[in-house]
Structure 1
Amino acid sequence: MSKKNLKIKIWQNKQVYMMMLPVLVLLLIFSYYPMYGIILAFKDYLPNKGIWGSEWVGFKHFIAVFSLPDFFTAFRNTIVISLLTLIFCFPAPIFLALLLNEVTNRPYKRFIQTCIYFPNFISWVVLAGIINSLLNYSTGTVNNILANIGLSRVEFLASEALFYPVLIVSCIIKDAGWGTIIYTAGISSIDPTLYEAAMIDGCKRFGMARYITLPSLSPIILIMFTMQVGNILNANFDAIYNLYNPTVYSVADVIDTLVMRTGFEEGYYERGTAIGLFKSVINFILLLSANAIVKKINGYGMYEVAE
Structure 2
Amino acid sequence: MVLRATIAGCGGYLPAQRLSNDELAALKGLETSDAWIRERTGIGYRHFAAAEETASDLGAAAAREALARAGADAAEVDAILVATSTPDSGFPATAVRIQAKLGITRGFAFDMSAACTGFIYALAVADSLIRVGQARSVLVIGTEVYSRILDWTDRSTCVLFGDGAGAVLLRAEEGGGTNADRGILSCHLHSDGRFGDILHIEGGAGSTGGPGLLRMAGREVFRHAVTKLAAVVDEALDANGLGHEDVRWLVPHQANLRIIEAMGRKLHLPPERVVVTVDRHANTSAASIPLALAEACGDGRIRPGDLAVLEAIGGGLTWGASIVRF
Short-chain TM bin:
under 0.3
Tell me which structure has the larger Cα radius of gyration.
Answer: 1
Task: Give the structure with the larger strand fraction.
Answer: 2
- TM-score normalised to structure 2 length: 0.24
